[in-house]
Structure 1
């Protein structure tokens, strides 16, 4: 999921450089959403791992 977030971020940067504002905004928004989902899943996985060892 982190890979997809980074991919959309790169697409947003490339679109912004070439002047495609709408595509850049949409790609940046998708990248942010995917990154937040990645962080939530990462924290949940860490909590499960810690709770499992206890």
Structure 2
């Protein structure tokens, strides 16, 4: 684990939307069991976009 790169972001993020717009939250969780290095995880995420 790299201490300089948190696994997730904490803290609020303010968004201002025009009237009538809707904010949708989406998240993706990828679990690696230690056999994948950073390059393998990055490659997987690039090959499997939203």
- TM-score by length of structure 1 reads 0.29
Pick 1 or 2: higher relative contact order, CA cutoff 8 A, min separation 6.
1
TM-score, normalised relative to structure 2: 0.31
**Structure with greater helix percent:** 1
